[in-house]
Amino acid sequence: MSGLTDAECCPDWGALRAHDLWVLPVEVLTEVMEIGVVELELPKGSSAFPYRRSDGRRIGVQRGLPPCERNRQVRDLLFSYLTEAVDSERPASWLRATDIRALYAGSQWGPMDGWHGDEAVIDSLRSFIGEPLGGVAEEFPEEAYPLPEGVGAVIALGYDEAGRHRPLVWVDSRLPSGLRADLWGFCAAMIAEGSTAERRADAEGVLYVGKRRRPVRGPGPALLGALTVQRFGRRPRDCDFPLLDPPEREVESAPM
């Protein structure tokens, strides 16, 4: 892959995104987001709650919670703060106030070979699906269009010459390159996690992946997809995509 300058491939280094909330240390996140965490004696049944003081926002957590539960509660509320700030007409001052590169420096989820443009990252993700995941990664052929409404990608399960399972992925080549890159990452994560048996698959075992972005809400294929994209050299955007109900068609779609 040919590397690009930071300005060319990642112009928004200051933008904190939802997937960051589930992988960066809680202490780093609360410092960046300017939110204090205070342990309190809360009423029975309460574990954490947000509140505001004159000097800023706080998260109160039940005193004595195990560290993993405490961090989970804090991350959940940080997600609420982040989505509120993104949706606000006057975003919070911290939303773009830090350099993400510094937060991931030395992390296993920093880029393994520098930062790259969308098409180079897409090529790497398609190769990753092919090997080591043992799948086939293709763009939809012309005869597949028009796609069912809202569909951005399809995941299916095929077989190789020896009768072994082989995952198959198709992505809409007409979509913007950044959206395609994140879709490829999401599909790769679905295969890697064995999530293709999801209940929304049709009778043939085909999953229809939507193209509407959603913030990553926690561990799972969406988080793994975002981090995989980042590992290959692209700063992902919202990387959770819905699994759509199988379309009602009288004939099979081209990938089948």
118/195: higher pLDDT: 118
* Per-residue pLDDT at 152: 98
Q: How confident is the model at residue 157 (pLDDT cuts 50, 70, 90)?
A: confident
The answer to whether 208 touches 170, Cβ cutoff 8 Å, is no
* Per-residue pLDDT at 219: 95
Q: Where are the domains of the chain?
A: 24-104, 118-244
Q: Tell me the average pLDDT across 139-156.
A: 95
Integer Cα distance of 216 and 76 in angstroms: 11
Integer Cα distance of 165 and 185 in angstroms: 20
Q: For 196-234, b where at least 16 C-beta lie within 10 A, e where not — what string?
A: beeeebbeeebbbbbbebebbbeeebbbbbbbbbbbbbb
* Per-residue pLDDT at 196: 59
The answer to whether 171 touches 153, Cβ cutoff 8 Å, is yes
Whether residue 47 is predicted with pLDDT greater than 60 in this model: the reply is yes
* Per-residue pLDDT at 162: 80
Q: Tell me the average pLDDT across 49-59.
A: 93
Whether residue 27 is predicted with pLDDT greater than 90 in this model: the reply is yes
Whether residue 251 is predicted with pLDDT greater than 50 in this model: the reply is no
Structure tokens belonging to residue 221 = 């294929």
Sign of CA dihedral 172, 175, 176, 179: negative
- pTM for the predicted model, two decimal places: 0.89
Whether residue 171 is predicted with pLDDT greater than 90 in this model: the reply is yes
Whether residue 2 is predicted with pLDDT greater than 80 in this model: the reply is no
Is-cis flag, bond preceding 219, omega within 30?
no
* Per-residue pLDDT at 22: 97
Whether residue 113 is predicted with pLDDT greater than 80 in this model: the reply is yes
Integer Cα distance of 249 and 158 in angstroms: 21
Q: Tell me the average pLDDT across 32-47.
A: 91
* Per-residue pLDDT at 115: 86
Q: How confident is the model at residue 167 (pLDDT cuts 50, 70, 90)?
A: very high
25/161: higher pLDDT: 25
